[in-house]
Amino acid sequence: MTHLIIILGTLTLLAGFFALTAYEARRGVRVFSAGRTRLDAQIARIYFILEHVDLSAFLRDEVRRLVGRIGHDIAHLSLQAVRVAERVLTRLVRYLRTKHEVDITPRETARPFVQSLSDFKDRLKAARPENSEITEIQ
């Protein structure tokens, strides 16, 4: 069935072509003359290129140009990535070089050993008199 449709479509197009050329011959004008003239010029140009241009050399040059362009784009993108990393690291170093306020407020520790040492130290301070009290007694 598909073959029959293709054959009938081809025969219909061929009959349409013959009817169009017969109509143009009787009237003496071309249908869609401006568009057909442009199409004829483009086809003549393509034919000239196919006849006179070495396509293998042309394709080789185009592939080289494409590979060079891709290499250039990759190098450019990697340079931009390095610059972004440089900016981030520069900001980090600048931040680290500035003096920051140290938090010296006493903190509650969660470790019992450290807490017991701190309590023991406080009890020792309370049990020993200071130097000014010792001098007053003597």
pLDDT for 68-92, tens place per residue? 999 999 999 999 999 999 999 999 9
Number of domains in the chain: 2
Do 2 and 46 reside in the same domain of the chain? yes
pLDDT reading at 109 higher than 90: no
Do 32 and 59 reside in the same domain of the chain? no
List the Cα angle 33/38/41 in 5-degree steps.
125
**Percentages (nearest 5) of helix, strand, coil residues in the chain:** 80, 0, 20
Structural domain of 69: 55-97
Q: Is the pTM of this model over 0.75?
A: no
- Secondary structure class of 42 (helix, strand, coil): helix
Do 43 and 17 reside in the same domain of the chain? yes
Do 42 and 22 reside in the same domain of the chain? yes
- Write down the pLDDT at residue 108: 65
Residue 75 belongs to some domain of the structure: yes
Do 28 and 38 reside in the same domain of the chain? yes
Q: What percent of the chain has pLDDT over 90?
A: 60
Of 52-66, 70-84, 119-133, which has the strongest mean pLDDT?
A: 70-84
Asked whether 24 and 30 are in contact (CB, 8 A), the reply is yes
Tokens of residue 126, six digits: 């309370």
Least confident of 24-33, 35-44, 104-113: 104-113
CA-based nearest residue to 106, from 116, 95, 96, 115: 115
- Write down the pLDDT at residue 87: 97
- Secondary structure class of 98 (helix, strand, coil): coil
Do 41 and 67 reside in the same domain of the chain? no
Do 26 and 38 reside in the same domain of the chain? yes
Residue 76 belongs to some domain of the structure: yes
What is the band of 32 on the pLDDT scale with cuts at 50, 70, 90? confident
